Amino acid sequence: MQQGRLPICLDNRVLRHHGVVAGATGSGKSNVNSNIVRAAINMGYCVFLFDHKPDYQNLDKPNDEKNLFSDINWQPQGFDCKLCYFSLSDDKSGKANKNETLINVYASSFDPYQLASALFYKRGEELQQENMTLLLSAYKDDQEERQKYTWTLADAVKWIRQLTKEQMSNVLGGGSITDKSMSSMLRKLQARTMPWMDRILTYNNAQLPGLSIPKQALAPEINVSGLIEEKTINIIRVGQSQGRDYGLFLSFLLDRVYKAKASNADLPPIVYVIDEAQDIFSGSKQLREACEDMLDANMRKGRSLNIAFWFGLQKFSALPDSITININSRIIMTHKQVDEAKNALPGASQELLSMVTGLKPGESLMSLFGSNSIVQGKMHPSKALLTKE
Ligand X SMILES: Nc1ncnc2c1ncn2[C@@H]1O[C@H](COP(=O)(O)OP(=O)(O)O)[C@@H](O)[C@H]1O
Interface residues with ligand X (CB under 6 A) are: 23, 25-31, 65, 68, 361-362, 379-381, 386
- Least distance in Å: CB of 72 to Mg ion? 21
- Least distance in Å: CB of 133 to ligand X? 39
| Cα–Cα distance measured from residue 179 to residue 166, given in angstroms and rounded to the nearest whole number | 13
The amino acid at residue 85 is Y
Is residue 382 a contact residue for Mg ion (CB under 5 A)? no
Give the sign of the dihedral formed by CA 5, CA 11, CA 17, CA 21: positive
How many positions of this chain bind Mg ion (CB under 5 A)? 2
Q: State the greatest distance between any 2 C-alpha atoms of the chain, in Å, as a whole number.
A: 78
| Cα–Cα distance measured from residue 88 to residue 379, given in angstroms and rounded to the nearest whole number | 31
- Least distance in Å: CB of 29 to Mg ion? 5
- Least distance in Å: CB of 388 to Mg ion? 11
Say which entry of ligand X, Mg ion, none residue 23 contacts (CB below 5 to 8 A, set by partner kind).
ligand X
The residue (of 28 and 195) whose beta carbon lies closer to ligand X is 28
Say which entry of ligand X, Mg ion, none residue 381 contacts (CB below 5 to 8 A, set by partner kind).
ligand X
Say which entry of ligand X, Mg ion, none residue 361 contacts (CB below 5 to 8 A, set by partner kind).
ligand X
The residue (of 25 and 101) whose beta carbon lies closer to ligand X is 25
Find how far residue 111's CA is from the centre of its chain.
19
- Least distance in Å: CB of 82 to ligand X? 24
Helix/strand/coil (H/E/C) assignment for every residue in 228-252 = CCCCEEEEEECCCCCHHHHHHHHHH
Is residue 30 a contact residue for Mg ion (CB under 5 A)? yes
- Least distance in Å: CB of 80 to ligand X? 21
| Cα–Cα distance measured from residue 23 to residue 359, given in angstroms and rounded to the nearest whole number | 10
Say which entry of ligand X, Mg ion, none residue 379 contacts (CB below 5 to 8 A, set by partner kind).
ligand X
Say which entry of ligand X, Mg ion, none residue 290 contacts (CB below 5 to 8 A, set by partner kind).
none
- Least distance in Å: CB of 165 to ligand X? 56
Q: Which stretch binds Mg ion (CB under 5 A): 21-29, 174-182, 223-231, 265-273?
A: 21-29
Say which entry of ligand X, Mg ion, none residue 365 contacts (CB below 5 to 8 A, set by partner kind).
none
Say which entry of Mg ion, ligand X, none residue 346 contacts (CB below 5 to 8 A, set by partner kind).
none
Say which entry of Mg ion, ligand X, none residue 241 contacts (CB below 5 to 8 A, set by partner kind).
none
Say which entry of ligand X, Mg ion, none residue 31 contacts (CB below 5 to 8 A, set by partner kind).
ligand X
The residue (of 29 and 256) whose beta carbon lies closer to Mg ion is 29
Cβ 96 vs Cβ 57: under 8 Å? yes
Give the sign of the dihedral formed by CA 116, CA 118, CA 122, CA 123: positive
Q: Which stretch binds Mg ion (CB under 5 A): 24-32, 38-46, 72-80, 203-211?
A: 24-32
- Least distance in Å: CB of 30 to ligand X? 3
Is residue 364 a contact residue for Mg ion (CB under 5 A)? no
Q: Which residue is nearest to ligand X (CB)?
A: 362
Residues in the chain: 389
Footprint on this chain of Mg ion (rule: CB under 5 A) = 29-30
